[in-house]
Structure 1
Amino acid sequence: MSALFDVVQQGFPEPRDFQRSAMIKLAEGVLAGHKNQMLMAPTGAGKTYLGLRVAHKALKQGKRATFLCDRITLIDQTSMRADEYGLCAHGVIQGRHPREDWSQRLQIASVQTVANQGWPDTDVLIVDEAHTQHSAWVEYAKASSARVIGLSATPFAKGLGNVFSNLINAATMNDLTQSGVLVPMRVLSCKRPDMTGAKVDQAGEWQKSEAEARGMEIIGDVVAEWLRHGEGRKTIIFGATIAHCEELCRQFNQAGILAATYTNDTPDAERPGLLREFRKPDPLIRVLISVEALAKGFDVPDVGCVVDCRPLRKSLSTAIQMWGRGLRSSPETGKQDCILLDHSGNITRFADDYTDIFFNGLASLDQGETLDKKIRKDEPDEKARSGCPECGYKPFRQRCMACGFEIVAKSLIAHEAGEMHEVILGKKKLADDKLHLWHQLCTFARGKDKITRKSGFAKLKFKEWTGDWPPHDFSFERAPHVEITDAVKNRIKSDNIRHAHRRPD
């Protein structure tokens, strides 16, 4: 099965280094016995590209493949991409689509239509936006013999670990920013609604009616701040509800800025025309406003401004999806950065966890699930106003997402960071170097049945002890079995005791 992920394919652009690495890791996962794998790839990493390469290779082997989309807006976008890559012989399963042809060995399908009409024969299933767990594909992924590749920038949803047995980080957002695939995000914290005392729903998020009512009070500020700071850039705005979006649209148009809404209430007949106009280099529509319809997988690279008017207290994944709509680079238009006008307070609520994801990605699917359960509280104004000492970027915590400046925290690590240095914690030597420590942690995790997320345990423990995530070339699967030093065993034991004491009775 490793041939399924070969990197030389006619009709496709040459893969970037991180894309080639991701395909190799997928192949390694297949050889290790993983039927269902999750590929975490941030905005700009080319999830559709990677998924269609996998599908193409399956076709070359005489197999059948299905690329599954969770939103109708993504069907034609994916079909267009397939055509660009030379995969013109494909069918589209979505309503009464003009390209419907169930005889084709490659299908681009809407999960809603598949749920109603049944599954095409398929050997390889690629699930786009796989964090959205529709029961139709989840049940199919578990019960069928098809190999399943999940694609997501934010695999944070509950239960993903029950569907996928292997998580692969294609690249971090920092990797993509440094390489020019993404642009830096320039954040302006603007007037935001006061969510003090706002009621929450059963999921723990603020009720939409509460977010809408409080958001309505500052719409005038949203328009004024965009006129002051948006620089006339092509813009996507996220509102709390459809009614909130419609009122935002009305006031932008009243101010002379042509805006439109793209929501569940937008008639199907109007949607293609809206998107075609917005994609133009100099569109009549400068501002497109949505709740969620544009948050996932909607790619218009020259969007230069995102306005966040949708306050959240738990869903980091939703925030990342929204902000990501403006982070793609657009060299042909000279785009240098993306302005985020934060009218929600989200950028400060999620600052610590977003910074961690930005630089490190996820260590495990369990970690992602935990992040989307965590309730964040509004911070004091003085902390929200703090910026990077080097460039002034806000918000700033330990490391700057704009310039990379980092405050080196005092730690128990006695030596300078470096893979060839001894790893010493306190006064005890744990390993000859970081690679030796990694091999010990992998050996320990593999030998303990109670540790279900074995690679995740090794990564998290490595980060906890050294202050850094293991490098990308530190493979859990290829790590040799080594003797574990008494110092490492004792340290793990003491960690377990300490954590046990913290648990409530």
Structure 2
Amino acid sequence: MERDHRVIFAVPALSLVEQTVSAFCGEGLGCIGVVQADHVLTDPSQPVQVCSVQSLARREKPEAALVIIDEAHRMFASVNEWMTDPEWANVPFIGLSATPWARGLGKYYDDLIIAARTAELIEAGYLSPFIVFAPSEPDLSDVATIAGEFHQGELSDACNKSTLVGDVVATWLARGEKRPTLCYGVDRAHAEHLQQRFLEAGVAAEFVDAYTPVEERERIFRRFRAGVTKIITNCATLTTGVDLDVRCIVDAKPTKSEMLFVQTIGRGLRTASGKDKLIVLDHAGNHLRLGLVTDIHHEHLDDGKPKKAGEDDRERKAPLPRICDGCSAVMPRKAAVCEACGAVREAKCEVDAVDGELVELGSGTRAEKWAPTASEKREFFGELRFIAAERGYSDGWASHKFREKFGHWPNDAWTRSAGPTAPSLKTRNWIRSRAIAFAKGRRANGET
């Protein structure tokens, strides 16, 4: 700008046009023109042009010495074509994103510069601290995975049940502290069901989706800011361009997408006057599936090429969190004390033990057999996957060992969603015992 060079700042949503203009003016940059419909600030002579991606796709683009793409992970086709246009080959493009992990993003950008991670921004006071409760989650064992994500129709059937929706409302009443809340549903039917149940409980709730007219959406937002509306339920809408003081997130949409998950929780991480923390109520199982948002980050852009089994570009994949037995808060796996209720987590013995009583020999009475929980099975499968990757084995090896341990295959979606987790000594000893038993069996059969 000091050299009279024009800068284009492209945003993917109409709501972000006004937010960006306000942010620039707040920093003393008033020399702004807007490229979006017949906006009142339309002025092609200004050195900074805030443009909607949609308008740029339909118009001749203004000349510029620098282009900044906001929410770069959205990867609009028109933006990709623009970046590869030979006429713009000498113009630098800078992409901004809190989740720059989109598949193929590395085909359009050369380098990933990580200015700060979520945990660092929270520690520095730029983002709000948060606490997560995971009181319930749907049974997703019959929900298929299509192209790396849950099948939306089957997911809706699994989540849009009266008992689950009722539990969402009951948990908010107990844990939500009547805070301004965004609630995320699977689809329109699910989100509207959630809204209806909140209304029946006497909570002022409204619904928004992609088809809500802009004027009506703004009226809903005004009522939310004024405290008249306490909860906004939505589906696939309020993940970007949300300029609201949100102090509670209800996540009722299961996902396998780290980007969608982090963007969802991120809607509540903005700081505000009087805001001590964000409360997250996870009814989707996303934290147990993907981890805490402060633990999710990648070191490289995705080049679009298929990944090898077990390959991960995270600097150090943190173990998935666990749930506090006392209050259902999500806590880091290695944490000794729950920050929510102060409960001290007792270290678990690596040796299996079952309660029983002494019985007379020959009486025919036996101690009750230990029955592993679904969470213990999932944790064990994650440990097997870690060992498989460590030894260069296929994922099938982990499945076979799981079957050897429990007598059935790990076919349910929740178990199979377990990521590689550093194994305990107990698990490593079990694997070693199976190898020894296998070797002894071969020797007994005269094999070498």
Using the size of structure 1 for normalisation, the TM-score is: 0.60
The aligned counterpart of 1:308 is 251
The whole-number CA distance in structure 1 between the counterparts of 2:306 and 2:338 is 26
2:130 pairs with 1:208 = no
| Alignment CA distance shift 1:401-1:205 (3 Å) | farther
The aligned counterpart of 1:162 is 107
The aligned counterpart of 1:228 is 174
The aligned counterpart of 1:90 is 32
Contact 1:351 1:397 in 2 (8 A): no
The aligned counterpart of 2:127 is 182
Contact 2:204 2:229 in 1 (8 A): yes
| Alignment CA distance shift 1:401-1:107 (3 Å) | farther
Contact 2:144 2:150 in 1 (8 A): yes
The aligned counterpart of 1:149 is 94
Instruction: Output the amino acid matched with 1:243.
Output: A
| Alignment CA distance shift 1:184-1:167 (3 Å) | same
The whole-number CA distance in structure 1 between the counterparts of 2:158 and 2:152 is 10
The aligned counterpart of 1:348 is 288
Once the 2 structures are TM-superposed, how far is the Cα of residue 397 of structure 1 from its aligned partner?
Answer: 2.5
RMSD of aligned Cα (Å): 3.3
Q: Deviations over 1:182-229 (max 9, x none)?
A: 23221111222211111333x231122222222221211111111111
> 4+ residue stretches of structure 1 with deviation over 6 A?
367-371, 399-403
The whole-number CA distance in structure 1 between the counterparts of 2:184 and 2:336 is 25
The equivalences for 1:5-404 within 5 A come to 59-143=1-85, 144=88, 145-201=90-146, 203-217=147-161, 218-278=164-224, 280=225, 282-300=226-244, 302-312=245-255, 314-330=256-272, 332-333=273-274, 335-351=275-291, 354=293, 356-357=295-296, 361-366=297-302, 385-387=322-324, 394-398=330-334
The aligned counterpart of 2:383 is none
The whole-number CA distance in structure 2 between the counterparts of 1:180 and 1:157 is 27
Q: Deviations over 1:436-458 (max 9, x none)?
A: xxxxxxxxxxxxxxxxxxxxxxx
| Alignment CA distance shift 1:198-1:500 (3 Å) | closer
Instruction: Output the amino acid matched with 1:366.
Output: D
Once the 2 structures are TM-superposed, how far is the Cα of residue 277 of structure 1 from its aligned partner?
Answer: 3.3
Instruction: Give 3-state SS (helix, strand or coil) of 2:157's partner.
Output: helix
The whole-number CA distance in structure 1 between the counterparts of 2:64 and 2:77 is 18
Aligned length: 335
Contact 1:198 1:206 in 2 (8 A): yes
Once the 2 structures are TM-superposed, how far is the Cα of residue 264 of structure 1 from its aligned partner?
Answer: 0.5
Once the 2 structures are TM-superposed, how far is the Cα of residue 146 of structure 1 from its aligned partner?
Answer: 1.8
* Structure 2 unaligned regions, length at least 5: 312-319, 340-344, 346-388, 396-448
Instruction: Give 3-state SS (helix, strand or coil) of 2:145's partner.
Output: coil
| Alignment CA distance shift 1:205-1:191 (3 Å) | same
Instruction: Output the amino acid matched with 1:225.
Output: T
Once the 2 structures are TM-superposed, how far is the Cα of residue 340 of structure 1 from its aligned partner?
Answer: 0.7
| Alignment CA distance shift 1:148-1:223 (3 Å) | same
Contact 1:63 1:122 in 2 (8 A): yes
* Structure 1 unaligned regions, length at least 5: 1-58, 376-382, 408-497
Once the 2 structures are TM-superposed, how far is the Cα of residue 267 of structure 1 from its aligned partner?
Answer: 0.9
Using the size of structure 2 for normalisation, the TM-score is: 0.67
Q: Deviations over 1:403-427 (max 9, x none)?
A: 7xxx9xxxxxxxxxxxxxxxxxxxx
Instruction: Give 3-state SS (helix, strand or coil) of 1:131's partner.
Output: helix
Instruction: Give 3-state SS (helix, strand or coil) of 1:95's partner.
Output: coil
The aligned counterpart of 1:464 is none
The whole-number CA distance in structure 2 between the counterparts of 1:182 and 1:400 is 25
Once the 2 structures are TM-superposed, how far is the Cα of residue 502 of structure 1 from its aligned partner?
Answer: 4.7
Contact 1:355 1:401 in 2 (8 A): no
Counting aligned pairs with the same residue, the percent is 34
Instruction: Give 3-state SS (helix, strand or coil) of 1:68's partner.
Output: strand
Q: Deviations over 1:447-470 (max 9, x none)?
A: xxxxxxxxxxxxxxxxxxxxxxxx
Contact 1:235 1:303 in 2 (8 A): yes
The whole-number CA distance in structure 1 between the counterparts of 2:202 and 2:392 is 61
Instruction: Give 3-state SS (helix, strand or coil) of 1:223's partner.
Output: helix
The whole-number CA distance in structure 2 between the counterparts of 1:196 and 1:501 is 28
Contact 2:106 2:303 in 1 (8 A): no
Once the 2 structures are TM-superposed, how far is the Cα of residue 134 of structure 1 from its aligned partner?
Answer: 0.6
Instruction: Output the amino acid matched with 2:148.
Output: G
Larger Rg: 2
Once the 2 structures are TM-superposed, how far is the Cα of residue 346 of structure 1 from its aligned partner?
Answer: 0.4
